[in-house]
């Protein structure tokens, strides 16, 4: 009787499981994607073959197979599988699992593979509680995180683990999963007689951003909302699009996506690719990025990467910052797009950036240059008795307002204009200025 009720409960639970859960691979051969990790000859493949897995951290976006692969590894190695969520578990739960694992190993049983989802959510004390048993091999820890473990996980735990980075599934990988789910009569949607249009599957494979869970969930909604389970269904692109509704953009304004997208935006502008720059701008705006952050980065870039090659770049970036503050979203996207495309197309020069870097380096690492006596302030009491300001020539009295005198005290050049944009004109002007200044030194 007890078995009858247990079986009935299991059937009821299985009946409500979503498609993504039902289609979870049952073996490593069914696992799709991440061939850079588990493909033949790759490190994880070699560790499994040698039965020497050790503790690992799986790092990557949602829906790429981190939990699934952890379960498959435990089955492949015949390890006891235990799972905790860092969101709901505490130190007490960790210690219970570790004590059970220690007892199992002590009595000759198999090791325990402890899978901790969202391990970066554990505080330092919780992560430290894992260290002794991880170090002694009592448990094989598999931690999963969507945040960069080198920032989000204790360095002591990272140093005892191998970090494997998961990538979003490719379009072909997602398409393969969708086709399998549509054909599978036991776990998938094979009993519903679904005919899927190629453009519908292509669209879903693209729109899910390499997230298998999202793709299967959307497929299930599209099929179940299409009509009766007995009638044949044609899955069209329009039907899939209606199931998607508004696309959720994967973006964490305080995590890796924030820094990676900001880096891509700046490097695209620096590389003069206006199209790429607009895309990364749009990606950050859709993800909810703080527009003030974007404005600060553009103002910095205008000086750092464009400088005097286009002197209009900095005032334009500052104007964009002020307009964005004044107008706000959503209209300020127009201002930001104008600024980004202008900065991307502007001639580039980092000569001013290099100049200040070299000057500060000389001050930090070299001997401090004293202010030449003729440049010192001669207005305060006693200054003239010290000879301060003596010999200074007022520049506006000289031809071209350039007095031939020494302004530094050492022979050193920091600013080297490029031959791009307006800086070409500055380079020619600076050459004449330096000749005249040095001519003054020769006369002395």
Q: Enter the tokens of residue 307.
A: 């400088």
Residue where the block lists tokens 């220690």? 102
274-286 and 256-270 are packed helices; what angle lies between their axes, rounded to 10 degrees? 160
Write down which residue in 142, 165, 188 finishes a domain.
165
Please give the full DSSP string across 90-156, using - where no structure is assigned.
-HHHHHHHHHHHHHHHHTT---EEEEEETGGGS-HHHHHTTHHHHHHTSEEEEEEESS-HHHHS-HH
For residues 40 and 113, state if they share a domain.
Answer: yes
Distance CA 286, CA 415 (A): 40
pLDDT of 256 higher than 50: yes
Final residue in a domain of this structure, among 116, 146, 165: 165
Total residue length of the chain: 444
Give the pLDDT band (50/70/90) at residue 443.
very low
CATH at residue 58: 3.40.50.300
Give the pLDDT confidence of 224-252 residue by residue, as tens digits: 887 656 667 788 888 888 888 666 566 66
Reported as a pLDDT band with limits 50, 70 and 90, residue 257 is: confident
Q: What is the mean pLDDT of residues 106-120?
A: 90
State which of 143, 165, 187 marks the end of a domain.
165
Please say whether the beta carbons of 169 and 33 come within 8 A.
yes
Q: Which domain holds residue 114?
A: 34-165
293 Cβ partners below 8 Å, 6+ apart? 262
Task: For residue range 338-353, list pLDDT tens digits in order.
Answer: 999 999 999 999 999 9
Question: Token digits for 404?
Answer: 């031939």
* Total domains, the chain: 4
Q: How far apart are CA 318 and CA 141, in angstroms?
A: 50
User: Over 60: is that where the pLDDT of 43 sits?
Assistant: yes
pTM over 0.85: no
Q: How many helices (H) and strands (E) does the chain have?
A: 21, 7
- Please name the helix (run of DSSP H) or strand (run of DSSP E) that holds residue 164, with its range, or none: strand 162-165
End-to-end Cα spacing for the chain: 112
Question: Would residue 178 count as lying in a domain?
Answer: yes
Is the confidence at residue 132, as pLDDT, over 50?
yes
What is the per-residue pLDDT for 426?
Answer: 94
Q: Looking at residue 209, which CATH number applies to its domain?
A: 1.10.8.60
More confident call, 336 vs 122 = 336
Q: Is the dihedral of CA 131, 135, 141, 145 positive or negative?
A: positive
User: What are the tens digits of pLDDT across the range 22-41?
Assistant: 999 998 989 999 999 999 99
Residues 323 and 240: their CA atoms lie apart, in Å, by 39
Q: How confident is the prediction for the chain on average, in pLDDT?
A: 87
Residue 76 forms part of a structural domain: yes
DSSP 81: E
Residue 382's Cβ-count burial label (10 Å; 0-12, 13-18, 19+) is exposed
């Amino acid at each position: 009787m007890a078995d009858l009720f247990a079986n009935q409960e299991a059937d009821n639970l299985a009946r409500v499981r979503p498609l993504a859960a039902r289609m979870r691979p049952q073996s490593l051969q069914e696992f799709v994607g991440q061939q850079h990790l588990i493909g033949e000859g790759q490190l994880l493949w070699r560790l499994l073959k040698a039965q020497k897995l050790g503790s690992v951290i799986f790092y990557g976006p949602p829906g790429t197979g981190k939990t699934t692969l952890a379960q498959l590894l435990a089955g492949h190695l015949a390890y006891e599988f235990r799972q905790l969520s860092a969101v709901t578990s505490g130190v007490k739960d960790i210690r219970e699992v570790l004590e059970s694992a220690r007892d199992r190993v002590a009595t000759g049983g198999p090791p325990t593979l402890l899978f901790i989802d969202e391990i970066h959510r554990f505080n330092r004390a919780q992560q430290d509680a894992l260290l002794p048993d991880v170090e002694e091999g009592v448990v094989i820890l598999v931690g999963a995180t969507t945040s960069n473990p080198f920032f989000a996980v204790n360095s002591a735990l990272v140093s005892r683990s191998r970090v494997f980075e998961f990538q979003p599934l490719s379009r072909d990988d997602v398409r393969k999963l969708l086709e399998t789910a549509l054909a599978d009569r036991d776990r998938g949607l094979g009993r519903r007689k679904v005919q899927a249009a190629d453009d519908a599957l292509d669209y879903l494979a693209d729109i899910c951003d390499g997230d298998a869970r999202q793709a299967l969930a959307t497929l299930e909604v599209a099929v179940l909302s299409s009509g009766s389970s007995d009638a044949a269904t044609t899955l069209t692109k329009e039907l899939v699009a209606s199931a998607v509704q508004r696309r959720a953009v994967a973006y964490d304004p305080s995590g890796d996506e924030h820094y990676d997208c900001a880096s891509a935006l700046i490097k695209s502008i620096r590389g003069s690719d206006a199209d790429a720059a607009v895309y990364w701008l749009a990606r950050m705006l859709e993800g909810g990025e703080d527009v003030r952050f974007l404005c600060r980065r553009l103002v910095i870039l205008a000086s750092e990467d464009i400088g005097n090659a286009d002197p209009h770049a900095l005032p334009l970036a500052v104007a964009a910052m002020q307009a964005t503050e004044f107008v706000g979203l959503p209209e300020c996207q127009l201002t930001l797009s104008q600024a980004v495309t202008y900065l991307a197309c502007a001639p580039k020069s980092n000569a001013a950036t290099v100049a200040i870097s070299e000057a500060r380096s000389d001050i930090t690492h070299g001997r401090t240059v004293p202010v030449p006596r003729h440049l010192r302030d001669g207005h305060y009491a006693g200054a003239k008795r010290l000879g301060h300001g003596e010999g200074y020539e007022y520049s506006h009295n000289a031809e071209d307002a350039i007095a031939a005198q020494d302004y530094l005290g050492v022979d050193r050049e920091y600013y080297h204009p490029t031959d791009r944009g307006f800086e070409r004109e500055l380079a020619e002007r600076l050459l004449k200025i330096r000749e005249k200044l040095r001519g003054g030194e020769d006369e002395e």
